Amino acid sequence: MKTYNKNLEAVFRLTPEQYRVTQQDGTEQPFQNEYWDNKEPGLYVDVVSGEPLFASVDKFDSGTGWPSFRRPLEPANVVEKVDRSHGTIRTEVRSKHGDSHLGHLFPGGPRDMGSLRYCINSASLRFIHRDQLESLGHGEYLKLFTQEA
């Protein structure tokens, strides 16, 4: 079993936007981020720790302009916290090992997918295409994509 940790070298390599989002709990602009409309098969991992977070098989178009997922790939890698900022109470989503701010959890996902919407900032993610999973040490997830064309 792999272990994941907050990688300080990775933090130093973050772009200003990735740093603002992951380390300062920021939110990127909708429809102007890297993965909101990505339809390629693969995994989304934490940009700081590399821990697997979400899979393309659970991604859906929520119409919000951010990547949206029905569930985490590895629930143990995703932490939910109460967020009382902006005068509301929301559920913040963070990576467990990288402690990166990922986004928020909302109701309103597809009913046939559990009615949840993990609304995630692209800046907190690194995408690994299905064809690179084996070579990058994530071959155990290839089985997720055997039914895809």
Residue of 21, 119, 120, 123 marked catalytic: 119
**Which positions ≥6 away from 16 have C-beta within 8 Å?**
none
Does residue 120 lie within any of the structural domains?
A: yes
**pLDDT of amino acid 113:** 65
**pLDDT of amino acid 85:** 82
**pLDDT of amino acid 7:** 81
Whole-number Å distance between alpha carbons of 121 and 114: 21
pLDDT digits (tens, 9 = 90+) for 32-52: 999 999 999 999 999 999 999
Count up the domains in the chain and report the number: 1
Distance of CA 21 to the CA centre of its chain: 12
Q: Which helix (H) or strand (E) holds 116?
A: strand 116-120
pTM given for the model: 0.91
Does residue 1 lie within any of the structural domains?
A: no
Residue 124 belongs to a domain with what CATH number? 2.170.150.20
Percent of the chain predicted with pLDDT > 70: 97
Whole-number Å distance between alpha carbons of 114 and 116: 6
Which range marks the domain in which residue 134 is found?
8-143
Q: Which positions of the chain have pLDDT values less than 50?
A: 149
Look up 119 and say whether it is catalytic.
yes
Tell me if 112 sits within 8 A of 36, measured CB to CB.
Answer: no
Residue of 75, 55, 77, 78 whose CA lies nearest to 4: 77
**Which positions ≥6 away from 140 have C-beta within 8 Å?**
none
